[in-house]
Amino acid sequence: MGNTRRVGIDARKLRDFGIGTYIRNILVELHRHDTETSYVVLSRSRDLHRLRDLVPRFRVVVEDAEPYSLGEQVRIPWRLRREGSLF
């Protein structure tokens, strides 16, 4: 990947009304307009089908940690580091 930027996006609240709407819209617009950045999208396993149409620049990684939990505080940074994403 060389100098390609990698950005992590936490999309685990994709189904929520407010923040979920924002996440869905930003993914659509990034998909449409940004052709250079690679994205790691954290998603709950139950929402994988909603993200299947994203191009290969969007790598979807399953993360089912409960919101506001100790597991979330440990696992998300670990996953993003493992994927080489910036956060």
Q: Within 13 Å of residue 15, how many CA atoms lie on the same side as its CB?
A: 9
**pLDDT by residue (tens digit) across 24-45?**
999 999 999 999 999 999 999 9
Q: How many CB atoms lie within 10 A of CB 31?
A: 15
SS3 85: coil
**pLDDT by residue (tens digit) across 50-81?**
998 887 899 999 999 988 899 999 999 998 88
Position 17 confidence tier, pLDDT thresholds 50, 70, 90: very high
Predicted model pTM: 0.83
